[in-house]
Structure 1
Amino acid sequence: MDGNKENVNPNAMSVDQAAKLLSSAARRQIPASQIADDIAAGAPSNTDGTVNVLHYAAWLLQEMQRGD
């Protein structure tokens, strides 16, 4: 295993880590500020400020179904 790779826990990612992961998966830039704004708007986060990406993705899907 490459010693330069950062260990990431998908259950407790920093906002920056989540933005990098989601950007890679979506193949478009997801700014950390967007995730922070979502958390401020009610997206789930852990008590230490980290993000469970599965819970966050489920919240995003729920919000998309709600519509504007």
Structure 2
Amino acid sequence: MRKTRRGPWLSGLVVAAIGAVWMAGQVIGGVIGMVTGILHADDESPPASLAAAAIHARRGQVSDASW
């Protein structure tokens, strides 16, 4: 009698382990980003993406077009 093959369980296990490590990294990175965002919420200078908008808002300009 031949032994029946149960399937490629080892490759499935490796893929699952890689996926679990990636997912844990995403969660840890998100938590770190959230904590740094909370800790820097009271900083005097805004983030770079908001700084340019604040400069334009102070001048009352919407665009840099000459017309």
TM-score range, shorter chain: under 0.3
More RCO (CA 8 Å, sep 6+): 1
Could you say which structure has the higher helix fraction?
Answer: 2
